[in-house]
Amino acid sequence: MKAIILAAGVGKRLREISRGMPKSMLQIGSSSIMHHQIRSCQQAGIENFVFVLGYKKELLQDHILEILAPGNTTFITNPVYDKTNTLYSLWLARQHFTEEFIYFNSDVIFQTELLMKIVPQSEFSQLLIEDKICGKEEVKVIVSDDMRILEIGKELDISRCIGEFIGIGKFNQQVLNRFSEHLQTGVDTGHQNNYFEYAVNLLAGDFHLQAVFTGDLPCIEIDFPEDLLQARKLFS
């Protein structure tokens, strides 16, 4: 299994704090967000990594290689990182859809135990969901009685949603060709600046994607200064 980590973005909403550094290099406790992610993956048995970089890619690449061997690491450049979003970045990595992988963005901090909920073998691809009442801007999911994801996205009826997709998922081998095709559809139809959940929503019509609750294990996507403060309290 490998991890595909999207780390191309600028992180504009945290620029006053980051002072121009890539957001994933911000410190949480004694380590950066990126180093936390890598070590959590390694503790879960994941040794191969694919990173999609853009903003200050050389700086971030050097930071990653402080704790990863080059032989286990692949770097892909998104040359239009300031005009595109996660759908396009993941589309750039589609040639690496050769085995099942864990996906997440580089601004998510979590405990290793959270990965262990989805890393063990399962017949289904799985997405981690926080059981909560969602707001308008959160990526939400609607599921069936057997926890199959029926719809995923921001523009869903909040009353029908069970929670928020935290941005971490496992995609099994059997879905990867179709997943790549849906990413291609997104690029071909002008969705380069959309989120990768656009393609996941299409994939949910083809396969059983299973929702897995995070339970009481903390996980924070760091978009705003208040997110960073909360992460530093929880993960210090």
Q: For the chain, what is the domain count? A: 1
**pLDDT exceeds cutoff 90 at 33:** yes
pLDDT at 120: 85
Q: What token pair was written down for 102?
A: 């864990």
188: domain CATH number is: 3.90.550.10
pLDDT at 19: 84
**pLDDT exceeds cutoff 80 at 79:** yes
pLDDT at 84: 97
% of the chain at pLDDT higher than 90: 86
| Most distant pair of Cα atoms in the chain: their distance | 47
Task: Give the residue numbers spanning the domain of 13.
Answer: 2-235
Mean pLDDT of 186-191: 97
**Distance of alpha carbon 197 from alpha carbon 152, whole angstroms:** 7
CB 96 within 8 A of CB 2: yes
- pTM of the predicted model, to two decimals? 0.94
Report the DSSP beta bridge partners of residue 151.
142
CB 202 within 8 A of CB 151: no
